[in-house]
Amino acid sequence: MEKAWYKEGIVYQIYPRSFKDSNNDGIGDIKGIIEKIPYLKDLGVAIVWLSPVYKSPMEDNGYDISDYQDIAPVFGDLSDMKKLIKELHKVKIKLVMDLVINHSSSEHDWFKKSVKRVGKYSDYYHWEDKPRNWTGFFGGKAWSYNEERKQYYLHLFSKGQPDLNWDNPELRSDIKKMITYWLELGVDGFRCDVINLIAKNNLHPRGRKRLILTGREHYLSYPNLHKYLHELNRDVFSKYDCFTVGETVFVSPKDGVLLTSPKRKELDMVFQFEHMDADNYFVKWFIKKFKPMNLKKPLSNWQNNVNEKGWNTLFLESHDQPRSINRFGSLAFHDESAKMLATMLYFQQGTPFIYQGQEIGMTNISFDNLEDYQDVETHNIYKLMRKMLFSKKRIMKKIKYVSRDNGRTPMQWDDSKNAGFSDQKPWLKVNPNYKDINVAKEHLDKDSIYNYYKKIIKLRKVYPVIVYGKYRDIDFNNKSLFIYRRYDKTNELIVLCNFTDKDYTMDKFEYKNHKLILSNYKENDDFVLKPYEARVYYK
């Protein structure tokens, strides 16, 4: 297998709005990130991925971009951005930016010109005289009327996020120029937002009626996608020492291989979401009780079918996901389960992604008032479910478990006012548990979740088998344990994880001659795994 820095290093995702506020307006910003570079360095991450900081009306917190080559004033300006790149590079940390090119904001100049049918821009978006029956990701109709142009336009996300028309070569050429601009500034790669939606089928507009995403057969990994990705790679990415990670929704391991196979030269890796359905029925709002098997099955399926052919990513959290302890671990075994989940995930094959706050075990918030939630999706879904006659109580219960704001509360730095995030009222309330869960406290405790993450990051540098070794499941049908083996010609790792809150007694123990290199308990009984115990053995 080909070696690469982006396979070896660990990525840390920053949601700028919630990371660190430097000028006390209640919103995190680029200068705040610069302040915290020593923190990132201490943790040991190699790459930082920044959620969007571009100019935006912020209908979807920056995933609605109105100028791809400028910075939103709330986050700072271009000189701050250049400084961030420089300061990160000084300490050998790479920077990956978010690339939101399936759609722009309706405030983007391109859209304004498209509305007025100005020259080449007329065709930069998808326009139709009659709306199609497609529905969007945030619930509701995906085609909306524009009064001025007197036509309907496509938006798979909110109304202010019109989809770009990738069939237009002039649009593609403008996108390539824009990406080149950032690469020239020194950016080391991109996380490509919903990239497998960019190609649309415009010939068969009627969508098959479905409970969610009617019409999705016309844009989910539609064949032209591969053509457009290959073109971007050939004309732009391949000319720089950078990497791309595609956010790809509703993809199978087979798609994963097509998208990341080095021979095909499309993307370097993808985020897939099959394991994010471990506690829901396909749609996150239809919650079901979590069963370890539902996490194990998709994760091992991707390991078994993508490894050696393409490249995986390893993630449990992001700015779109609730906190993993609430979903797959246990609040009663907060530290143990946080460490177990990290062990289970990061010793698999793929590039590890840590989402801010995950490394200290941040958890979901639980607001009783809808008004305390800020996310556009949460509000859209609330309205939709009210229309569907769900009771307010029932909807709020769902929101508490699922809302994207669970992962967006301000980073908990210390136990001072607003968790040390800002002097002013933060844009989204701080989780009241910040007195217990915060960076300052965990720095001092050698057994903290933070220091456990540090150990994992260090081990990855010591044992290349963690990065490049093959993967094999052990005792796959076990409903309580997740056990697997990583190996190459001369090295072997065994990862043992207990997903239950009870002792688990194994009937055999075959690792007597292995060395225990990591565990979340101080003492380990060979045969008995304590609640949420995790161990890694090496031979």
Query: Where does this chain bind Ca ion (CB under 5 A)?
Result: 21, 23, 25, 27, 29
Q: Which helix (H) or strand (E) holds 320?
A: none
Tell which residue, 245, 317, 300, has the closest CA to residue 470. 300
Q: What does the alpha-carbon distance between residue 256 and residue 274 come to, in Å, rounded to a whole number?
A: 12
Q: Does 284 bind ligand ISL (CB under 6 A)?
A: yes
Ordered alpha helix ranges (H), 190-247: 224-235
Q: How far is the CB of 21 from Ca ion (least distance, A)?
A: 4
C-alpha separations of 488 from 303, 464, 466, 468, 469 in Å: 15, 10, 10, 8, 5
Residues 396 to 415 in contact with ligand ISL, rule: CB under 6 A: 404
Site residues (CB under 6 A) for ligand ISL, limited to 147-166: 157
* Beta pairing partners, 128: 152
> DSSP labels for 443-458?
HH-TTSHHHHHHHHHH
Among 10, 14, 84, 249, which residue sits at the site for ligand ISL (rule: CB under 6 A)?
249
- How is residue 373 written in tokens? 């939630």
Does 60 participate in binding ligand ISL (rule CB under 6 A)?
Answer: yes
What is the distance between the alpha carbons of residues 476 and 483, in angstroms, rounded to a whole number?
7
Nearer to ligand ISL, 75 or 137 (CB): 137
Question: Between the CA of residue 193 and those of 169, 188, 270, 474, 533, what are the distances in Å?
Answer: 20, 16, 10, 35, 35
- Name which of ligand ISL, Ca ion, none residue 100 binds, using a CB cut-off of 5 to 8 Å depending on partner kind: ligand ISL
Number of residues that bind ligand ISL (CB under 6 A): 14
* Nearest by Cα to 538 from 462, 450, 477: 462
Pairing of strands 515-519, 504-505: unpaired
439 three-state secondary structure? helix
Among 14, 48, 88, 100, binds ligand ISL (CB under 6 A): 100
Which residues have a Cβ under 8 Å from the Cβ of 523 and sit 6 or more positions away? none
Site for ligand ISL in 62-81 (CB under 6 A): 63
Calpha distance 109→83 (Å, rounded): 27
Q: Whose Cβ is closer to ligand ISL: residue 292's or residue 407's?
A: 407
What is the number of the residue whose Cβ is closest to ligand ISL? 63
Smaller CB distance to Ca ion: residue 21 or 266? Answer: 21
> Closest by alpha carbon to 4, among 54, 55, 46?
46
By CB under 6 A, is residue 275 in contact with ligand ISL?
A: no
Residue 245 · residue 269 · CB < 8 Å: yes
Q: Which does 25 bind (CB under 5 to 8 A by kind): ligand ISL, Ca ion, none?
A: Ca ion
Pick what 23 binds: Ca ion, ligand ISL, none; C-beta below 5 to 8 Å, kind-dependent: Ca ion
What does 60 interact with, of ligand ISL, Ca ion, none (CB < 5 to 8 A by kind)? ligand ISL
Partner whose footprint covers residue 471, from ligand ISL, Ca ion, none (CB < 5 to 8 Å by kind):
none
Closer residue to Ca ion in complex, CB, 23/301: 23
| E strands present in 318-434 | 351-355
Nearer to Ca ion, 244 or 422 (CB): 422
Nearer to ligand ISL, 246 or 350 (CB): 246
Nearer to ligand ISL, 125 or 333 (CB): 125
Q: Which is nearer to ligand ISL, 318 or 337 (CB)?
A: 318
Do residues 210 and 282 lie in contact, with contact meaning Cβ atoms separated by under 8 Å? no
| Residue 11 binds ligand ISL (CB under 6 A) | no
- Report how far residue 376's alpha carbon sits from residue 320's, in angstroms, rounded to the nearest whole number: 12
The amino acid occupying position 467 is V
Nearest to residue 471, comparing CAs of 455, 451, 492? 492
With CB under 6 A as the contact rule, the residue among 188, 266, 377, 442 that binds ligand ISL is 377
The answer to whether residue 247 is catalytic is yes
Residue (319 or 530) nearer to ligand ISL, CB: 319
From the list Ca ion, ligand ISL, none, which binds 194 (C-beta under 5 to 8 Å, kind-based)?
Answer: ligand ISL
CB of 376 to ligand ISL, least distance (A): 8
Among candidate residues 193, 336, 359, 375, the one labeled active-site is 193
Closest approach of Ca ion to the CB of residue 122, in Å: 38
Phi and psi at 147, nearest 5°, equal: -60, -40
The single residue among 54, 110, 121, 137 that binds ligand ISL, judged by CB under 6 A, is: 137
> Out of 60, 247, 266, 317, which one is annotated catalytic?
247
327: nearest Cα among 353, 362, 360, 354: 362
Considering only residues 314 through 373, tell me which ones interact with ligand ISL, judged by CB under 6 A.
319-320
**In the complex, what is the shortest distance from the CB of residue 93 to Ca ion, in angstroms, rounded to a whole number?**
22
Instruction: Decide: is 193 part of the binding site for ligand ISL (CB under 6 A).
Output: yes
Q: Is residue 366 within a helix (H) or strand (E), and if so which, with residue range?
A: none
The DSSP line for 356-422 is TTGGGT------SSGGG---HHHHHHHHHHHHTT--HHHHHHHHHHH-GGGGTSPP---SSGGGGS-
Q: Count CB-CB contacts under 10 A for residue 45.
A: 23
Q: Which residue has the tokens 């396909």?
A: 282
Residues 480-519 that bind ligand ISL (CB under 6 A): none
As measured in angstroms, the least distance from the Cβ of 320 to ligand ISL is: 4
| Bridge partners (DSSP) listed for residue 54 | 71
Residue 266 binds which entry of ligand ISL, Ca ion, none, CB below 5-8 Å type-dependent: none
In whole angstroms, how close is the CB of 20 to ligand ISL at the nearest point?
A: 20
Residues labelled catalytic: 193, 247
Q: Which residues bind ligand ISL (CB under 6 A)?
A: 60, 63, 100, 137, 157, 193-194, 247, 249, 284, 319-320, 377, 404
